[in-house]
Amino acid sequence: MNDIYRTTKGYRLRFAALFGSVIFGTVTSALFPYCIGKIVDQIFYLRRMKGFLLSFFLYAGLYFLNQCGHGVLNYLWAHLKITYVVDIRRRCFAHLLRLKADVMTHIKSGDIMRRIQEDTECFLEFIHRSLFYVLANFLQLAISIGYLLYTNLFLGLTSIVLTPVMAYSIRYFRGKMKEKQQRIQSRKGLADAWIQEMMIGLTELKLLNAQPRLEREYRDKTEDILRDEMDARYLSLRSDAVNEGLILIGQLCIFCIAAFFVAGGSMTLGQFVACASYFSTCASYYNALGRKLTDISANLVGIRRVQEFFSWEEETDLPSAGSYPVEKGEIRFENLSFGYEGGQEVLKGFYLDIRPGEKIAFVGKSGEGKSTLLQLLCRFYEPSEGTIYVDGRPLADYTYESLRSQISVVWQDNGLFQGSLRKNILMSDDKSRDPFLWEILEGLKLKEVAEELPEGLDTMVGSGGRDLSGGQKQRLSIARVFLKNPAILILDEATSALDNTTEVLIQQALDELCKGRTTLVVAHRLSTIRNADEIAVVIGGRITERGTHEELVALDGTYKKLYSLQFRENDLFQ
């Protein structure tokens, strides 16, 4: 409850007004049966027109006030649904952006989307439709039973006796419903994540002729969810049937007792009508209370899923961290060790000094730790041992924002974001920078491509927009680096998606970009790193060879073998 209460900060006055409108509506509604009873007595029992008119106008006035209260309630509900729920979603999204990389590797995107888009609504549903209305239901029951006790002790006692029986029934079915709701929510989240994964790899799956198997898997997953939902529905129906049966028994008892006292002259017809109406109100609220408690179970499941999401570890700066400029670009890896969770160590006692403005390339077989090294430099992961220094400062001394603002990366795989071509490069739609942007695109041989697009730089690309080739995407990523002008540049297979002709042109642009800045390169095409200041061969998480291209070829070691092998393969295709 404390976590739920904390989410209401900034909205508590509006929630208080919402609760007040709920209570106001409940109290005015609770007086309706009393007014109807008075109207009946004034006409059929006392035959007073003046008393009838007073009771009539009292009823009409209460009804008007009740509707005004409902109007306020609906307005506050709609306002909170727009502001309060959206604010929780905003906090969820901000938390998602700060999650540690090792957390991100274990979560499924579909499940995260369900938590952010659907489970967040459970907070407002719990507070308003569950908590407030449950309290209102108890108030209505108290007023109804109080009137029955005031009118006739036996009628009130009958209502009171029914209360613990109904409470036990509600509690019994609520416990079973909670288990069902937890299983349903979990399976829906996993199913959504599975569908998203299939959509990403749909082309490959078609080539593997996996459609029949996927259809069976989807059918099995949906049938499991449907089975759980049907079980939950049957359980709800059984709960309603038991409660309705108990209520019917109570109603028969109330009618028999009331008929006895009306016949004896100790109860008026209007009181009988009011008592019957109040007990019907009790019955409906007993049923409503059962449904509300079932809803509470479902809402609490959603709330716990959001709370679990918030418990996942974020990237947090040290209190002593600051925004320091990277002036020289000197990098030092000192006794670095790292292994992914549940796996073997990728880096073991790694040492390396990189001078300011130096271009160093890392080569070796896949899985030897080259890309991992670059991710550690960007602080996507933290080393298990050792320290990385930039300009003599440990990485932990830099805030995440300040460090990454001075590092640019062109990865092996680069995607497009939803938006215009301009926004994909600038990360904004600022048209004032278009002249500079056209210069960059021309240098990367993308100007002609952009000019041929229907709307030029305003052409929508990415999800839901125009698709670009792999090479064009790669060059867009390089264009982002030109605009950022970082102190440290990382190229992880930056030209892997380009044909040979384009690769030569882009390599020239990259060489120009690398001037005056520290550059770390991971490449399997050894022809692209021949001009590196230094080449490091990484095997088993350590540097086994280090030097210029000519020095390593002369060394006749691992690098020479890799280089010779690539050139033999090139000769075969020429």
List the single range of 7-11, 503-507, 520-524, 535-539 with lowest mean pLDDT.
503-507
Q: Please, which pLDDT band fits residue 464 given cuts at 50, 70 and 90?
A: very low
Residue 572 banded pLDDT, cuts 50, 70, 90: very low
% of the chain surpassing 90 pLDDT? 10
537 strand-pairing partners: 363, 545
Q: What angle do CA 63, 66, 72 make, to 5 degrees?
A: 145
For residue 153, pLDDT beyond 60:
yes
Give the list of residues 6+ apart from residue 19 with CB closer than 8 angstroms, or none: 132, 135
User: Where residue 161 falls among pLDDT bands split at 50, 70, 90?
Assistant: confident
pLDDT band for position 571 (cuts 50, 70, 90) = very low
Number of neighbouring beta carbons within 10 Å of residue 284: 13
Q: Is the pLDDT of residue 17 over 80?
A: yes
Task: List, in sequence order, every beta strand (DSSP E) within 433-517.
Answer: 460-461, 488-492
| The pair of three-digit structure tokens given for residue 311, joined into one six-digit string | 């418990």
pLDDT over threshold 50, residue 27: yes
In this structure, are residues 368 and 541 in contact, taking their beta carbons and an 8 Å threshold?
yes
Q: What is the pLDDT of residues 510-555, one digit of tens each?
A: 777 777 889 999 887 787 788 888 999 998 888 999 999 889 988 8
Residue type, 527: S
Q: Please state, in angstroms and rounded to a whole number, the distance separating the CA atoms of residues 536 and 368.
A: 12
Query: 207-230: string of b/e by CB count within 10 Å (b at 16+)?
Result: eeeeeeebeeeeeebeeebeebbe
In the block, which residue shows the tokens 């059929």?
44
pLDDT tens readout for residues 361-403: 998 888 888 888 988 999 988 898 999 999 999 999 999 989 9
What is the sign, positive or negative, of the torsion defined by CA atoms of 260, 261, 265, 267? Answer: negative
Across 53-57, 276-280, 483-487, 494-498, least confident range: 494-498
Q: Which residues contact 100 (CB under 8 A, 6 or more apart)?
A: 312, 313, 314, 315, 381
* DSSP annotation of 99: B
* Residue 573's pLDDT band (cuts 50, 70, 90): very low
Q: What mean pLDDT, rounded, does the chain reach?
A: 80
Alpha-carbon span 427 to 216, nearest angstrom: 41
* 569 CB neighbour count, 10 Å cutoff: 10
Closest to 80 measured CA to CA, from 20, 123, 24 = 123
E strand intervals along 260-330: none
Amino acid type, 13? L
Which of the residue ranges 122-126, 184-188, 231-235, 535-539 has the most confident prediction, judged by mean pLDDT? Answer: 535-539
Report the range out of 79-83, 341-345, 359-363 with the highest average pLDDT. Answer: 359-363
Q: Is the pLDDT of residue 497 over 60?
A: no
| pLDDT of amino acid 185 | 73
* E runs forming strands in 325-384: 331-339, 345-354, 359-363
Mean pLDDT of 262-284: 78
* Residue range 221-237: mean pLDDT, rounded: 81
Running DSSP on this structure, what letter comes out for residue 315?
Answer: P
pLDDT at 131 over 50: yes
Name residue 494's amino acid.
Answer: A
User: What is the C-alpha R_g of the chain?
Assistant: 35
Highest mean predicted confidence (pLDDT) among 155-164, 186-195, 284-293, 545-554: 545-554
Q: What is the mean pLDDT of residues 554-560?
A: 87
Mean pLDDT, to the nearest integer, of 231-260? 78
pLDDT band of 499, cuts 50, 70, 90? low
Q: Which residue has the higher pLDDT, 201 or 4?
A: 4
Q: List the single range of 206-210, 293-297, 306-310 with lowest mean pLDDT.
A: 206-210
Q: Tell me the whole-structure pTM to 2 decimals.
A: 0.70
| Contact (Cβ atoms closer than 8 angstroms) between residue 92 and residue 116 | yes
Give the pLDDT band (50/70/90) at residue 206: low
Alpha-carbon dihedral 384, 326, 425, 508, rounded to 10 degrees: -100
Q: What is the DSSP letter of 106?
A: T
Tokens (6 digits) for 320: 């002593």
